[in-house]
């Protein structure tokens, strides 16, 4: 899924591990732009929150097995889908949306990912011993405090 390559000098495997860690933290793939079909539960409101922070295009909306014209909906780049008239029916797996979403080249988060991969490569710590406790060190890094702001901007919030 990584269509973007690491900065020169960064190990590809370390880059992929860091990218996957950031994706897990954020709750969605982030990059590249992909077409994806998702099925959502509906709370019965006129608004659905799609699991993305960068919606590019709504391709299809099916509600309880019936496909509706796209003109029945409005959407925002932040991943909000609004039914223009009425509400989505309440229920489990009621709405299926096909969408394009993600970033083509998210510069800020790629910087975080490259820095995480660099730190993971530089770390030669394999085991930490403190007193009678021995803990194995991971082979990946986490975002540093200054990088969490960027990660938080892309992190999905709780879905209704």
For residue range 54-112, what is the model confidence (pLDDT) as tens digits? 999 999 999 999 999 999 999 999 999 999 999 999 999 999 999 999 999 899 999 99
Would residue 146 count as lying in a domain?
no
pLDDT of residue 134: 64
On the question of pLDDT at 40 being above 90, the answer is yes
Quick one: pLDDT band at residue 6, thresholds 50, 70, 90?
confident
Strand-pair partners of 83: 73
Quick one: pLDDT band at residue 140, thresholds 50, 70, 90?
low
Would residue 153 count as lying in a domain?
no
Distance of alpha carbon 114 from alpha carbon 118, whole angstroms: 6
Would residue 72 count as lying in a domain?
yes
Which residue has tokens 């082979």?
139
What mean pLDDT is reported for the chain? 90
Quick one: pLDDT band at residue 160, thresholds 50, 70, 90?
low
pLDDT of residue 135: 62
Percent of the chain with pLDDT over 90: 72
pLDDT of residue 146: 87
Domain of residue 56 covers 34-101
Total of domains in the chain: 1
On the question of pLDDT at 133 being above 80, the answer is no
Which residue has tokens 């014209």?
69
Would residue 5 count as lying in a domain?
no
Would residue 95 count as lying in a domain?
yes
pLDDT of residue 138: 54
pLDDT of residue 71: 98
Would residue 66 count as lying in a domain?
yes
Q: Are the C-beta atoms of residues 160 and 43 closer than 8 Å to each other?
A: yes
Would residue 38 count as lying in a domain?
yes
Q: Report the SS3 class of residue 28.
A: coil
Q: Are the C-beta atoms of residues 63 and 78 closer than 8 Å to each other?
A: no
DSSP states of 102-148 = S-S--HHHHHHHHHHHHHHHH----EEEETTEEEEPPSS----GGGH
Would residue 51 count as lying in a domain?
yes
């Amino acid at each position: 899924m990584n269509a973007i390559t690491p900065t020169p000098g960064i190990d590809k495997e370390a880059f992929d591990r860091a990218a996957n860690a950031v994706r897990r933290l954020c709750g969605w793939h982030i990059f590249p732009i992909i077409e994806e079909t998702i099925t959502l539960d509906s709370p019965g409101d006129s608004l659905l929150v799609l699991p993305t922070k960068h919606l590019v295009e709504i391709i299809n909306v099916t509600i309880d097995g019936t496909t509706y014209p796209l003109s029945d909906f409005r959407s925002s780049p932040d991943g909000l889908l609004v039914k223009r008239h009425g509400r989505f029916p309440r229920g489990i797996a009621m709405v299926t949306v096909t969408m394009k979403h993600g970033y083509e080249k998210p510069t800020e988060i790629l910087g975080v990912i490259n820095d995480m991969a660099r730190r993971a490569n530089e770390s030669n710590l394999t085991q930490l011993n403190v007193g009678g406790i021995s803990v194995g060190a991971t082979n990946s890094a986490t975002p540093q405090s200054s990088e969490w702001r960027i990660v938080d901007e892309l992190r999905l919030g709780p879905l209704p």
